Amino acid sequence: VQTIKQGYLLKRSSNLRGYWKRRFFVLDSHGTLYYYRTQSNKNL
């Protein structure tokens, strides 16, 4: 599996106020999108 794109995006929270949170996203060659709180959490 190969990484196609990665970087920070804003993700809307699921609570009623809908706050926007910065997350590190990774899109792989299978079309799966993963996200983490920070880039350093990606390696966990």
pLDDT (0 to 100) of residue 11: 93
- Condensed to tens digits (0 to 9), the pLDDT of residues 1-44 reads 999 999 999 999 888 888 999 999 999 999 999 999 999 887 65
pLDDT (0 to 100) of residue 26: 97
- Name the residue ranges covered by the structural domains of the chain: 3-43
DSSP E strand stretches across the chain:
3-12, 20-28, 33-36
pLDDT (0 to 100) of residue 7: 97
Site of tokens 């993700």: 11
Helix (H, G, I), strand (E, B) or coil at 43: helix
Q: For residue 39, what are its two tokens?
A: 């880039």
pLDDT (0 to 100) of residue 44: 58
pLDDT (0 to 100) of residue 21: 94
